[in-house]
Amino acid sequence: MRASGRDMQDVVLVEESDAPLGAAGELPDSEAPSSCGPSGPSRARAGLTWLLRTRATWSLVAAGLAIVVATSVAVTAQHERARMAALAGLPGILRPLDGPVTELWRTGSGTGTVYLSGLTGLGARVLLTENAVNGKTDIVALDARTGEDAWRVQARPAHVPAADATNSYAGGANCAFPRSEDAQQAPVVACVVTDETTSVPVDGAGQMLVGTRAHLLVIDATTGAVLSQSPTDPSTSVALLGPDLITGQFAADGRVRVTRSGARDGTLGWTFTSPDPVSTDASGQRNLWVWASEGLIAVRAYGGLGTDGRPLAGASWLLSHDGDVVREQVAGPGDDYNSLGALREGSMFVEATTTATGARASVLTDAGSGRALTVEATPTGARPDDGSLGGTMLLMQSMTDGALLAYDLATGQPRWTGAASGDGGGPPMVLDGRVVRSRSDGSSAFDITSIDGNTGKTIWSTSMKSNQAGALLTDGRLVLVSRTKSTTGAGAVIAAYDLADGRQRWEVPIGEEQWLVEIDGRVFGLSGPGLVAYG
């Protein structure tokens, strides 16, 4: 009987403590009940002491675990705050989205009444060119918070009869808008406004509208005051470089002339003149573009189109901000590779070319070492790009099958190859060592895919089950896209997907299809009637 009583006490103690045999909470031998000792109140007191100590031990363990978990959560939250703060100044990153977007305001009325271009953020304003169906062209600054006009300048009056509005958008105004970082430099808007056009025949390409009269318009970007208006050749091209104006024109002898001057006072800084003239096509046309990019000024000129529809002879230049020639490319008649640009703040040049086998390719040249690499692909660019793929990785698109290539510039070989993007999709994004892209799945639907930027391995892929409109946008946590159909197959929506795992977080009906754009960290949609702001 005594043995039975001893067994019962042992069972009670094990059940009370829930401690397995041999566990850390087991009693030390010196304090364990003796198999031959007293079995009454003394053993009960010993058991109670052991139970209390066991519970105290587990309480301390639980408290320790709680501290570890809380510390881990705090560190993770701190890391995420630091990550978001670093992304905040990155071009192309949206301001943090706290939930589904809602429409704030919209411009225009009706359908297809205006054509918007430019679309640049400057502080709390959105700058754009508005071309109406009747030929009227306005340069506009909208309050980004309300959509109301901050100022509006008529660049060209209405001139197309309502009954003959076909191609009335032709000409209009080609404008250079200041960047957000230029807001403190007395920014201006410079536009080449086409006042009159005519139709000319183009061998092998039918008819083409060309400008016959134009003027250069310079506007104070802050107040909307017109600073200057002067006649110019319709082929003139302009770009902005801080407070200065870069102007490209053809001289009377056909040579390219590029000048840098003060945008407000016209003070001349320097002039570049091409060594040779650029010929015209059969209709007397030639084309010229200038733009400021990657710490350099790019210039491209060619003599219109040949009978086969391909560009005639031309040339491209990269100029320093002081007007010195950094790089030059000359293209012969029929060559379609007259294209010269810079990457990574001018540390790399990219030139279009044709290989010995006739394949289209790009020549990548390191500006410092002169080392060149020829690949049958073209740089795709990425927006946003946090630089997490390092300096030797370059995303390119194959010129043969459209595949996405991650080129290792150190080895001269692709590190990995992804599927072709198909039609549309926009540029990829690079964040946290991942490449996020959208691509056509070969039918009428697109998918979004997150790829390990170092290995090319797919991290996640989500089908949108509909067409896409516009580029992918992100705030660093969500990926936004405009879909032509909702999840249920109804009307167009803006949908958000988790950047970490690709799961859809929400979708918002938007009525008509819209092309999503990011302007100074804000979400906008372009539709037929005009511009829609979201917040």
Dihedral angle over CA of 240, 271, 228, 156, nearest 10: -70
Question: Letter for the amino acid at 73?
Answer: V
**What residues contact 466, with CB distance under 8 A and at least 6 apart?**
444, 445, 446, 483, 484, 485, 486
Mean pLDDT, residues 351-366 taken together? 89
Phi and psi at 200, nearest 5°, equal -125, 150
Place of tokens 């056909």: 254
pLDDT at 7: 42
Phi and psi at 95, nearest 5°, equal -65, 150
Q: How confident is the model at residue 119 (pLDDT cuts 50, 70, 90)?
A: very high
Mean pLDDT of the chain: 82
Query: Which comes out higher in pLDDT, residue 419 or 53?
Result: 419
Distance of CA 275 to the CA centre of its chain: 37
Neighbours of 75 (CB within 10 A): 10
The rounded distance, in Å, linking the Cα atoms of 84 and 350 is: 32
The rounded distance, in Å, linking the Cα atoms of 233 and 88 is: 42
Do 146 and 124 touch, CB atoms closer than 8 A?
no
**What residues contact 443, with CB distance under 8 A and at least 6 apart?**
none
Place of tokens 């299809």: 513
pLDDT > 90 fraction of the chain, expressed in percent and rounded: 51
The rounded distance, in Å, linking the Cα atoms of 133 and 168 is: 6
The rounded distance, in Å, linking the Cα atoms of 453 and 433 is: 5
**What residues contact 170, with CB distance under 8 A and at least 6 apart?**
194, 197, 209
| Range in 47-56, 60-69, 91-100, 505-514 the model is least confident about | 47-56
Taking Cα atoms as reference points, which of 142, 143, 153 lies closest to residue 189? Answer: 153
Angle (nearest 5°) at CA 272 between 271 and 277: 130
The rounded distance, in Å, linking the Cα atoms of 251 and 418 is: 47
Mean pLDDT, residues 149-156 taken together? 97
Do 331 and 355 touch, CB atoms closer than 8 A?
no
Phi-psi region of 345 (alpha: psi -120 to 50; beta: other; left: phi over 0): left
Mean pLDDT, residues 208-230 taken together? 93
Q: How confident is the model at residue 26 (pLDDT cuts 50, 70, 90)?
A: very low
Is the pLDDT at 8 greater than 70? The verdict is: no
pLDDT at 308: 61
Do 485 and 500 touch, CB atoms closer than 8 A?
no
Mean pLDDT, residues 422-448 taken together? 81
Q: How confident is the model at residue 108 (pLDDT cuts 50, 70, 90)?
A: confident
Q: What is the pTM of this model?
A: 0.80
The rounded distance, in Å, linking the Cα atoms of 86 and 466 is: 33
Show me where the domains of the chain are located: 2-82, 88-112+464-535
Question: Letter for the amino acid at 418?
Answer: G
Is the pLDDT at 357 greater than 70? The verdict is: yes
SS (H, E, C) 333-380: CCCCCCCEEEECCCCEEEEEEECCCCCEEEEEEECCCCCEEEECEEEC
Q: At what angle do helices 41-87 and 2-17 cross, to 10 degrees?
A: 20
Q: How confident is the model at residue 314 (pLDDT cuts 50, 70, 90)?
A: confident
SS (H, E, C) 82-148: HHHHHHCCCCCECCCCCCCCCEEEECCCCCCCEEEEEEEEECCEEEEEEEECCCCEEEEEEECCCCC
- Residue 164 is given by DSSP the state G
Is the pLDDT at 509 greater than 90? The verdict is: yes
Place of tokens 């002067």: 230
Dihedral angle over CA of 363, 367, 370, 371, nearest 10: -60
Q: How confident is the model at residue 382 (pLDDT cuts 50, 70, 90)?
A: very high
The rounded distance, in Å, linking the Cα atoms of 418 and 476 is: 23
